Amino acid sequence: MKIAILGTRGIPASYSGFETAAEQLASRLTARGHEVVVYCRPHVVDRRLREWRGAKLVHLPTLRNKYLDTFTHTLLSSIHAVRRERPDVALFFIAGNAPLCLVTRAAGIPTVINVDGLDSDRSKWPGVAKAYLRFAERGAPRWADTAITDSHRVADVFAMRYGRRIGVIPYGVEDPGHEGTGMLERLGLEPRRYLLFVGRLEPENNPHVLVEAFSHVSGEQARGMKLVVVGGAPYADEYINQVRRGGDPRVVFPGYVYGRGYWELQRHAYAFVAPTEVGGTHPVILEAMAAGNCVVVNDHAPNVETVGDAALTFSGAEGVPALVRRLEQVLADPGLVEEYRRRATERARRYSWEAVTDQYEDLLERAHAARGHAPLPEEALA
């Protein structure tokens, strides 16, 4: 099959879980003999890069605007796919792109969309944007041949909110096994002497909650411990500056870190903390478990679904005080940390990109085979 992947910033992955999924799927589907085309944004992916791990990269312009960037790029991508690439099936990411599934479907191209974790719940969006995203989420199962998400808990909310159950395919994880300490040395860190956060620096991911909680952590074990906050976000400079101002000298902000350096930070952290309160399956949580981290997560339902009994939780509703107590417990009990490292490693084995690719390949092949017939039943993917 020829498969087009639309709606992300492009590959190689350099921003979020969408791009990680696109890169992992593209490389594996290509290795299985499929032709894969991934649409990229020129301010994210070097325009000179025309191929990545076997997948063809197509660079198209966009409007550099917080509210229009994704939509305008995906609109151009869908038109290009119809007129130039003519794929056998189109795979869209992100619910806000759902209306654009009509472009590929109108051209007779079977279309699948992963709506991810209900973007309309994110606090970064103003009222008008939230209303549009609710409209897009509601319409996604009608405008695409098939709509999926990455979490059963998100699918439950979707069904309650919109009266339609959609399919579920989780994200995966791949541990490249990097054991070095070069990134730690560059940042002035010691193995097992720092807590780690990785993610977009946006309010719903709560880096500000973690930074504040860390400033209140006391006890002998906290001495010499640092907090490393990895990540950034476009169009969020004011909030990022606010988070930075809230940090004491023990907090390190290296910005984005990718590849070997990223995995070195994961591998050698004392614990990984994910205070996020929105979304579905977060790839960084899977990666932290695969790296053998002791993981601490907000008790947001999809987080709990992801980690099972392999991570510690804190009350997101209570916020900073609950996180302070949990961090103090973790820092004071190395034995507990070792136990949850063991659990995390075992749990991560359930999430394999090869197994996830199997599910996507089956879904896309069925969508292609059903061309001109009724849409695939979402319950078959639950």
Neighbours of 264 (CB within 10 A): 24
The structure tokens listed for 87 are 């794929």
Phi, psi of 195 (to 5 degrees): -95, 150
Which amino acid is residue 21, in one-letter code? A
Strand partners, 52: 55
What angle do helix axes 17-31 and 353-369 make, rounded to 10 degrees? 70
Query: Taking the CA of residue 96 as centre, how many other CA atoms within 13 Å lie in the half-sphere pointing to its CB?
Result: 23
- Domains parsed from the chain with CATH numbers: 2-172+352-381 (3.40.50.2000), 182-348 (3.40.50.2000)
Residue 379: CB atoms within 10 Å: 9
Phi, psi of 362 (to 5 degrees): -65, -45
- CA–CA distance, 319 with 203 (Å, rounded to integer): 13
Rounded Cα distance, 94 and 115, in Å:
5
Q: What is the pLDDT of residue 16?
A: 63
Digitized pLDDT (tens) for each residue of the chain, 382 residues in all: 999 999 999 999 876 678 889 999 999 999 999 999 999 999 889 999 999 999 999 999 999 888 899 999 999 999 999 999 999 999 999 999 999 999 999 999 999 999 988 888 887 788 999 999 999 999 999 999 999 999 999 999 999 999 999 999 999 998 888 889 999 999 999 999 999 999 989 998 999 999 999 999 987 778 889 999 999 988 788 999 999 998 889 999 999 998 899 999 999 999 999 999 988 888 899 999 999 999 999 999 999 999 999 999 999 999 999 999 999 999 999 999 999 999 999 999 989 999 999 999 999 999 999 875 444 444 444 4
For residue 106, with 0-12 CB atoms within 10 Å meaning exposed, 13-18 middle and 19 or more buried, which class applies? exposed
Amino acid at 256: Y
Contact 232, 266 (CB under 8 A): no
Q: Read off the pTM.
A: 0.83
